[in-house]
Structure 1
Amino acid sequence: MDNKPKIGDAEKLAKQVGITVRKMRQERGMNLQELADLIGVSKLTLGNIERGEANPSLTVIWKIANGLSIPISLLLKEDQGVIISRKNNGNRVLSTNEACILEPMFDVSTYGSSEIHRAYLQPNSEYCPGAHQSGVIEYVTVMMGEVKIKVQDDYYHLFEYDSIKFNGDKEHAYINPTDSTTVLHFVMTYTNT
């Protein structure tokens, strides 16, 4: 199963993310260098993202969202009235190491308090998003396969339809120990937005 985003979808996503980043940055009265310094991404890279000339990895999108204290779905949001979320159809973001593909499913229309994602963790891979902004709570359900989730120094092994809740502002990682893709369902709440 080829879960990677299509070229046209990636270009559309890059433009959408860029427009939103610029808008959010300007709303906060920040210049490009201030945001770049805050999130640890070069000014050149951030400028390319804002112009839609770079397709940011999931890691960079998390850095931007954390730096702006917004849900990542706000950066990936398509402006529509009615939304149907079908698997493999919509915005998709790859982690830097291509271990995880994230599909935002639904979000709130403002700086809301929750977002929902579908994620595909590649066989025998590990995805380490690091700690998110303060107040993030993650609820994860295994829809297919199995996953080991590391939260700080503790490991939790989940199987199909098992769920876990933890503070996403702690260092954490997702590990797929199998030879098959693991499908995860995320609900993330933001208590400090």
Structure 2
Amino acid sequence: MKRWLIPVGIIIALIVIVGFWVVGIKNTALKHNQAVGKEWGNVETAYQRRNDLIGNLVNTVKGAADFEKGTLTAVVEARAKATSVTIDPANVTPEQMAQFQQAQSNVSSSLSRLLVSVEAYPQLRANESFMKLQDELASTENQILTSRTRFNESVQVYNGYVLTIPNSWFLGGTYPEKPYFKSVEGAEKPVEVKF
């Protein structure tokens, strides 16, 4: 046997091992990226459920009360703006995430004003359909919170994987860091309740 074949064989074996290792890094990054996309889909589904419920809530309120048109209009407009903001989870940027969160925050704010205004209408509060919708909205808000939390957990795993060395060397710019959901501005302040 020729002695020069042994070092060549070792070099080829090392190249094959490193090649499989790099492919493993890329496949794992792809798996984490897909998990982030799935969790983003869950977030969008929860928000869509809320938007669907808002339409039913507005129609119930319209039918049951001589209501302030400005409040109803604000809810409907905020809902329309929120549904027009779309994000591709594979290419999400911090700016897109901020725009999405702002639109959803506007929906939440308008919806809160609507529910507070409803307190002046005892016949509406006693309406069984309205009460069911209000319970559904509360449940949906919990689903949104859960979906956002799971999305952030998924982003944490993804970012941790693609940003660590040596993974970042082999992944280059193919898998950029993804932004987290953050609380809206002013959320750290306690809510002031007045009676």
Mark yes or no: TM-score above 0.5.
Answer: no
TM-score by length of 1: 0.30
Q: Which has the larger radius of gyration?
A: 2
Of Structure 1 and Structure 2, which has the larger fraction of its residues in strand? 1
Q: Which of the pair has the greater relative contact order for Cα pairs under 8 Å at 6+ separation? A: 2
